[in-house]
Amino acid sequence: MGAQHGHLLHYHAHSPVHSLPAHLKVLALLAFVVVVVATPGEYYLAFAAYLALVGAAARFASVPWGYLLPRLVIEVPFLVFALLLPFIATGPRIELGPLTVSEPGLFAAWTLLAKGTLGVLAALLLAATTEPASVVGGLHRLRLPTAMVLILSFMVRYVEVVATEMRRMTVARRSRGFAERSVRSWPVLARTAGALFIRSYERGERVHLAMLSRGFDGELSLETEQEAGRAQMAQAASLPLTAAVVLVAALTWGPVFA
C-alpha cells in the first residue's frame, strides 16, 4: 500500500485523494498555485499556512513527506537562482552575518523560494496521487488542445522507452571501458545523445506509420472518467478554497500575518 508503483512519481495508495477525478485535481492545483502567487511576499504566516495545508492534503492522501521531499530536487535550478539574487540585485545593502547583500534581492529570493517550493510540492502531490495517463485524460476533459494532449500522451508512454534505451547505451559504453571522468569524455557523450535522438526519431516515425495503418485520424480515444459527484467536487475544492480564505485574511489583517 505504501510502495512505489507504475511510475517514478506516482505513489500507490488507496485514499480519497487518489480516487478523485484527475481533472478536478488539476483544477484544484491551478487554483491553489494562483492563490499562492497572488499572496504578497511579506505575509510570512500565510505561506506557513499554505505549507500546513499541503501537508494536511498529503496526510489525507496517505503520501508521506519522506516520499515528496527527495523529489524537490527538481527545484534546484530555481534554488540556485534564488540564492544568487541577494548578491546580484541592486538597491539598499544590509549586513547578513559576514556578508553584505541587497535587501530587495533578499526579499525577492524569499518570495521566489516560498512560492516556487509550494507550487512544486503541490504539483508533486498531484503526480503522487494520479497516474500519468489519468492526468492526460483529465487535461483532455478540460478541453486542452488535442495536439498538446497528443504530445503529452506520447511523452508519458515513451519516456520510459527512451530512458531504457539510454541505459542500454550507457551499459554498452562502460562495457567497452568508457568512464565519464573528464572533459575529454564530452565528445563521446555528445555522439551518444545524437544517436539517441536519431533512434527516438526513427521510433516515432515507425509508431506514426503503425497508427496510420490502423486508421488513426488525429482524434484521441482515451478512457473516460466517471462523472464527479458533489462530494468529490467539495473535496477537490477544499484546498484552494481554504488557501483563498487565508489570502483574504492576510489582506484584511495584514500586520498579523507579516
> Could you tell me the residue ranges of all domains in the chain?
16-138+226-257, 146-213
Contact between 251 and 36 under an 8 Å Cβ cutoff? The reply is no
CA distance 41 to 3: 37
Measured between its terminal Cα atoms, the distance across the chain in Å is: 41
Contact between 169 and 195 under an 8 Å Cβ cutoff? The reply is yes
Question: What residue has cell string 508519458?
Answer: 156
CA distance 234 to 55: 18
CA distance 141 to 212: 24
CA distance 136 to 144: 10
pLDDT of res. 145: 86
Per-block mean pLDDT, blocks of 10 residues, the chain (258 long): 54 90 94 96 94 95 92 88 88 84 90 94 94 86 85 82 87 85 83 90 87 79 68 92 95 84
Helix (H) or strand (E) holding 233: helix 230-252
Contact between 68 and 121 under an 8 Å Cβ cutoff? The reply is yes
CA proximity to 232, closest of 85, 27, 13 = 27
Helix (H) or strand (E) holding 16: helix 16-19
pLDDT of res. 178: 83
